[in-house]
Structure 1
Amino acid sequence: MSGQGWNTVLETHARRKNPEKELASNVLLKADRNVITIWDGFEKARFHFLVIPRDPFTLASGEKLPSSDLVNLVALRKSDHAVEVLKALKKQADEVKAMIEDEMMKKDGWVWPIKMGFHAVESMRHVHMHVISSDMISDRLKNKKHYNSFHPTLGLFLHYDDVLEQCELGQNDFPPKSHFESLEKEALVSFYTDEEFKTIPKLKEHLVAQFERRAKAAKAKLKQKREAEEARETVKKLKSDE
């Protein structure tokens, strides 16, 4: 992408006429008439995708949404068509979530929570929704900003349901960028235990340990459930043979 700024890559992908042919399989995951999903190239968790409205975005009326409405989340929130775009993103995001959950079960033997939402301070042009597993385990999570921008309660990660509700109610006022930038510098606090950590390496050790502990518990619970189901089936068969 010679001559192209790094922060316009999503915008370029959104404007591709035939993403299925123009993008490699390790870039594009899904595409339909109005939405594409790509792999996040700098994933901050075990599973991390970006769901993006295509440009042009065709409204239900048949009209094309102005490109200016898709520059970022602030612009979209001010658009008269924000809810329609958000619902289109959610439809594909739900499909991506199901794919992730299937892969989780195949690879790891259990399913853990998946978050959907937006960054309050976007580093890339063009609206994009994150679909990201909640583990936050990735070699590419390297600094405080990376972690805090996805913390579920700090305020930098705007959950989809909250954004949709605000747009449906016409609540489009948005705090200044400086408010969110100050949150990026907040302490590293575990979303599991509320424990504070001084360094990213120590936090990441904690995240891995907490994830593994929950994985072990979840797998044990699933095993007990399967064994109980098998026992019921055995009893049922014995009764039918009497």
Structure 2
Amino acid sequence: MSSSEDNSIKEQPLTKRAKLDNPKDQTEGELDAFEDVLFDGTTRPQDLIKPYLDGLIPYVNDTANHTDELYHEDKACVVVRDTYNKARCHMLVIPKRSIDEPKCLTTADLPLLQHIHERSLWVIAKMKRDHPELRDVGFRAGIHAIPSVRQLHIHVISQDFDSERLKNKKHWNSFTTEYFIDTDELLAMLKAKGEVKVDSEKVQAALKRDMKCHVCDQPLRNIPLLKKHIKTHLPASMTTAQPEDV
């Protein structure tokens, strides 16, 4: 994000920025600006960006007004479609219990985390069953090492990365480097250490790393080249099928 864009966001009155809590009502440009703020959330004063930081809370507390995004709900969590999907299938599994971020987890949360992990696997199985073009595509379920919004959430994302909303190196590296921690690794860490700790400097550096293919490790210097290249790894079911709403 350029410095001019950065300043324009910071200078917006809180009432104006707060409307971005409901992304589906925004223009494409506003959505892009909103997403940039989310990605840089850890480096900005929280009182300036509270509307962005709390963007997931309504999906848990007010599901009746988010039926378009809601995919599944049970007693412990909700599954919603990610507004900023970076692949054909990109869901968020969000616990209903208030847990700001992974570092807040304790061993007392292991049963809940296990449930969320199993719900993520259920989503993957259902996606493959309901959408034939996804049956031969890999999936991952995990967290960002340093989340950009409050409320613990698990990304369930297909590995095609076939999305117009995947636009820059940070987007790519946040899902294809150690910045992304799989749920089974998260569970193992919590069981072994009783807490979740990450090397902040290391994972932040991963976002700035040169891009490479997540399948064959070929270096790719820009997003257009990356998108052209990763299509060569897509299964035939995806190259011949039009993207479907999932």
Q: TM-score range by the shorter chain?
A: 0.7 to 0.9
Hey, what does 1:11 align to over in structure 2?
57
Deviates more, 1:94-103 or 1:43-52: 94-103
Separation in structure 2 between the aligned mates of residue 113 and residue 53 of structure 1, nearest angstrom: 24
Q: Does 1:146 align with 2:192?
A: no
* 1:138-171 alpha-carbon deviations (Å, 9 max, x no partner): 10000001000110xx211101111111111125
Give the distance between the partners of 1:109 and 1:133, measured in 2 at CA.
8
| Range 178-187 or range 6-15, more displaced | 6-15
Q: Tell me the residue number matched to 2:236.
A: 215
Relative to structure 1, the CA distance from residue 45 to residue 216 in structure 2 (aligned partners, 3 Å threshold; closer, same or farther) is closer
**What are the ranges of 5 or more consecutive residues in structure 1 without an aligned counterpart?**
56-66, 220-242
Q: Using the alignment, how far apart are the partners of 2:154 and 2:127 within structure 1?
A: 15
Q: How does 1:149-188 map to 2 (within 5 A)?
A: 149-151=174-176, 154-170=177-193, 172=195, 174-188=197-211
Q: Secondary structure at the match of 2:107?
A: coil
Give the deviation of 1:177 after TM superposition. Answer: 2.4
Report the Cα offset of residue 3 of structure 1: 8.2
SS in 1 for 2:131: helix
User: Contact conserved, 1:110 with 1:218, CA < 8 A, in 2?
Assistant: no
Provide, for residues 185-237 of structure 1, a one-character-per-residue CA deviation record: whole Å limited to 9, x for no partner. Answer: 001110111110111110011011221xx326999xxxxxxxxxxxxxxxxxx
**Whole-Å separation in 2 of the counterparts to 1:130 and 1:206:** 24
2:85 corresponds in structure 1 to 43
Instruction: Give the % identical residues.
Output: 26
Distance 1:87 1:3, change over 3 A: same
Map of 2:123 onto structure 1: 96
Change in 2 beyond 3 A, CA 1:37/1:204: same
Match of 2:147 among 118, 122, 128: 122
Letter in structure 1 aligned against 2:216:
T
TM-score (norm 1): 0.74
- C-alpha change, 1:145 and 1:217, in structure 2 (3 Å) is closer
Alignment partners' CA distance in 1, 2:70 and 2:237: 32
Q: Is the alpha carbon distance of 1:217 and 1:7 closer, same or farther for their aligned partners in structure 2, counting shifts above 3 Å?
A: closer
Are 1:74 and 2:103 an aligned pair? yes
Name the SS for the 1:196 alignment partner: coil
- Quickly say closer, same or farther: Cα 1:135–1:87, change in 2 above 3 A: same
Structure 1 165/189 Cα, relative in aligned 2: closer, same or farther at 3 Å?
same
Structure 2: unaligned runs, 5 residues or longer: 1-17, 22-50, 241-246
Instruction: Please give the TM-score of this superposition, normalised by the length of structure 2.
Output: 0.72
Give distance in 2, aligned partners of 1:123 and 1:217.
30
What residue is the counterpart of 2:110 in the other structure?
83
